[in-house]
Structure 1
Amino acid sequence: MDTFRDDEMQTSFLEVITVVGFGIEAFGILVIIIGSGISTTTFVRTYRSVEEGVAYKKYRKGLGRSIILGLEFLIAGDIIRTVVVADSLENVGILALIILIRSFLSLTLHLEAEGRWPWQKDSAP
């Protein structure tokens, strides 16, 4: 009887973790959508009132930052779902590949948005 209850608890735990992982990923997508909307709205409001190119640079920076933050949540959701729920070596390999691709995107977007690598000090005061 206890074995049945343990299996039921384990199944419930895995279901909760799966939902939490998907929830974190959904939040990451929401961050990207909202950040993109805010960046676009700000760009449309300011592009005629500032110097040429300034609004575009701010737009790219804001858009890049929202994508980077969203990617961080997507990676976190993947890690939670894959490590806790799917414990096969194949799934861990797929997770590693996904994290590698998303981390590369995050680094290159950071370089594009900030003009420096994440580990470099900010030169502007």
Structure 2
Amino acid sequence: MITIDADWLNAFFRLAVIGLELAGTLTILVGAALATWLFAKRARAGDGTQAYSAFRSALGRSILLGLEFLVAGDIVKSLVINPTLEDLIVLAGLVLVRTFLSISLGVEINGHWPWEETRMAREKARMAREKARMAPDDTGPKIT
């Protein structure tokens, strides 16, 4: 039978939480820096409006990914390291805020609600079929 020292396990999870929080923070910071660099590069090269749109999208995606790491760290901290009722309530609040931010940023990035994606894909496929049906048949003369 394998026995694991509780102090060692606690230290492992505390390091895991620090790692997740560090990964989340670095993801947001590096993503913001890269998005800003790309924005400056694209804005100098041409269309500022398109560059700004790409900047917002890249920044939003890095924030979303960073928030995922931060919430993972909060989950480990609240459920494994210090599972008090107060910590669980704080965790529930954080998850609600993160979910709201995720949906809001997703709408900003994609231009539609997350649950509209299936309907939009169906509509796009229908329009492609219509276009293919309406296109002239220019395959040339048929030789039989």
TM-score of Structure 1 vs Structure 2, range by shorter chain? 0.7 to 0.9
TM-score, normalised with respect to structure 1 = 0.85
- The reply on whether 1:65 has 2:66 as its aligned counterpart is no
Structure 1 residue identity aligned to 2:61: R
**Equivalent residue of 1:87, what SS?**
coil
- The reply on whether 1:56 has 2:52 as its aligned counterpart is yes
Q: For the Cα contact (< 8 Å) 2:42–2:48, is it kept in 1?
A: no
What value does the CA root-mean-square deviation take over the aligned residues? 2.0
- The reply on whether 1:91 has 2:87 as its aligned counterpart is yes
Structure number with the bigger relative contact order (C-alpha 8 A, sep ≥ 6) is: 1
TM-score, normalised with respect to structure 2 = 0.75
Q: Which has the larger radius of gyration?
A: 2
Partner of 1:15: 11
Unaligned runs of 5+ in 2: 125-144
1:48 Cα deviation after fit: 3.0
Unaligned runs of 5+ in 1: 1-5
1:70 Cα deviation after fit: 0.4
Superposed, which structure 2 residues align to 1:1-125 within 5 Å?
9-121=5-117, 123=120
- Matched residues, number: 119
Structure 1 residue identity aligned to 2:69: F
**Equivalent residue of 2:116, what SS?**
coil
Instruction: Give identity over the alignment, percent.
Output: 37
1:121 Cα deviation after fit: 1.8
